[in-house]
Chain A
């Protein structure tokens, strides 16, 4: 018993050190691409492609962590969070492209607009439960994307229409590096917010709602206000990521800021890492996004899949992703953070227990 506890603690420590090293490398390595560092003879540890992927990973850390607030902590299976990402992106994009606002002034409005929208649709939607909420939120996600692309005023598309919206390129030295750190900042905010939520009265209220909504209500939790606040908070963080994305990517349209796949990816990341925890969704985001990039062949390290031609690779990658989704859901339903956190050991018995718990 004591040995087990000791080994668990040791595991935890090993994992923590490993995570810190990886995080430090990811945060500092891009700095070696600066001209000053290069001329001083520092070896190049991360090129532009790498920190483009790293920025994407940071973005998904925000999305997965934000989803965790409504989906993991409050227990409402939101399936349309991508709407907030798109709303944030279009808010910042429109202010910069049409109203000529500077990026620094336009960005703070992205979370505000996304949160207001979430509060507005949340009031009716959060009365629904279970599947009904999931489906209705999915519907909102799809409908918002379509409206944004198709709304015309006086014959002119308001939001750039089907061709999308082009933003002026943000004039700053080392743009890629700048947006990487901005996105990492957003990820840090998302994680800090989650950390605060889990320690606050607000967070206890949300957990109470997840466990038993009627009981929470009887105990004096204003469930409507709590749920809407959690939804709006998740929307604000998601909208923030969208706002940064719009200026980083310079071009936004329905396909790149309202993709339905993102809904599933952010949930899968949170599940893979562990819902309801502070760092779980972030860990899941790193793992899954790296895997997606790896399967898509975007990473410098890549693997030739035998018997598969180069042209069929993206398709095979999708099939592998689908199978992985199925396997994770069946065998690791509580997320991989169980193993790293020292709460469980990856073993045949663990897999068998997961299977038995949910099987017919």
Chain B
């Protein structure tokens, strides 16, 4: 029983990071209809930023998260305004290839600046945790989960309670009508992508706390974001939160099956994704659109 509780807790904690990775990706996909293959590169850019601020200025990693968000928002805004807006009406394959190209450029620029050495962020409290009997919950993990939930809540707030957020929702339901009522599409699209990138940056900051940061470390997270978004269902922040936590749980339980282990992580993730796509394409929480 204690083992079961432990699996659930660790699944939810791992799920927190997946939520952070998933929300930005889901926003860009849902509104812009772009599967953003550069998402992982943006995530790891946030990771490097956190590492840089932590090692150079001794800033607490959690305090670097807003910096990550702002910096990545600017980068994302510029990227959408300057590049991705140019192909927004092209067939989906082109958006795939374009974002893959962007991914390649970002990853290799990081490689040029930071080299291929792995970097890690270890604040003084990284080894400590809350103890419940035999279960120890690391503070870092707990704070990451809290930060991820806050991030999702913040995004939901922006989307539902601000003018630009409502404009973004209007675009996602009918682009032409949104343009007719006077929404500046180019700006709104760029803000959407910027918000997605900002979420990716925060996710990267959290990831820097739990694993080594290398230029290519973000790539698995692009694939993971897919799975999380599909699992929850496209179109709502809350669905992605459910998807991320559910995926964390599934992963923990799958890895605890004897003879399985972490080597099949991808196979399990994608097996699950294909299963969900085929049997329930709208996701666990989704509505058919």
Which residues of A approach B to under 8 Å, CB–CB?
71, 77, 79, 124-125, 127-128, 130-132, 134-136, 138-140, 142-143, 146-147, 149-150, 264, 267-268, 271, 312, 315-316, 318-319, 321-326, 328-330, 333, 355, 357-360
Which residues of B approach A to under 8 Å, CB–CB?
29, 33, 35, 83, 85-90, 92-94, 96-98, 100-105, 107-109, 111-112, 185-186, 189, 223, 226-227, 230, 263-264, 266-267, 269-271, 273-274, 277-278, 281
Closest to A358 in B: B90
A360 and B277 within 8 A (CB)? no
Residues of B within 8 A of A130 (CB): 92
Residues of B within 8 A of A312 (CB): 112
What's the least CB distance linking A310 to chain B, in Å?
14
Assembly CA distance A2 to B215 (angstroms): 56
A329 and B108 within 8 A (CB)? no
Given the contacts A134-B92, A142-B266, A267-B93, A329 and B223 also touching, CB distance less than 8 Å: no
A147 and B267 within 8 A (CB)? yes
Most buried by A among B89, B93, B186, B264: B93
Given the contacts A271-B97, A315-B108, A359-B89, A143 and B278 also touching, CB distance less than 8 Å: no
Residues of A within 8 A of B226 (CB): 135, 138-139
Residues of B within 8 A of A359 (CB): 85-89
B85 and A360 within 8 A (CB)? yes
Assembly CA distance A324 to B108 (angstroms): 14
Residues of B within 8 A of A325 (CB): 97-98, 100-101, 104
B87 and A329 within 8 A (CB)? yes
B277 and A329 within 8 A (CB)? no
What's the least CB distance linking B49 to chain A, in Å?
20
B104 and A321 within 8 A (CB)? yes
Interface CB pairs A-B, < 8 A, 22: A77-B96, A125-B278, A128-B277, A128-B281, A131-B35, A134-B35, A136-B277, A150-B267, A268-B97, A316-B112, A318-B108, A319-B112, A325-B98, A329-B90, A329-B94, A329-B98, A329-B101, A333-B94, A358-B88, A359-B89, A360-B89, A360-B185
A322 and B90 within 8 A (CB)? no
What's the least CB distance linking A234 to chain B, in Å?
15
A136 and B273 within 8 A (CB)? yes
Residues of A within 8 A of B92 (CB): 77, 130-131, 134
Closest to B98 in A: A329
B105 and A143 within 8 A (CB)? no
Assembly CA distance A329 to B57 (angstroms): 41
Closest to B190 in A: A360
B86 and A330 within 8 A (CB)? yes
What's the least CB distance linking A149 to chain B, in Å?
8
Q: Which one of A136, A271, A315, A319 contacts B274 once the chains associate, using CB atoms below 8 Å? A: A136
Closest to B278 in A: A124
Given the contacts A140-B274, A315-B112, A323 and B93 also touching, CB distance less than 8 Å: no
Please name 4 further chain A to chain B contacts, defined as beta carbons within 8 Å, in addition to the given A131-B92, A316-B108, sorted by A numbering.
A146-B264, A147-B267, A268-B97, A322-B101
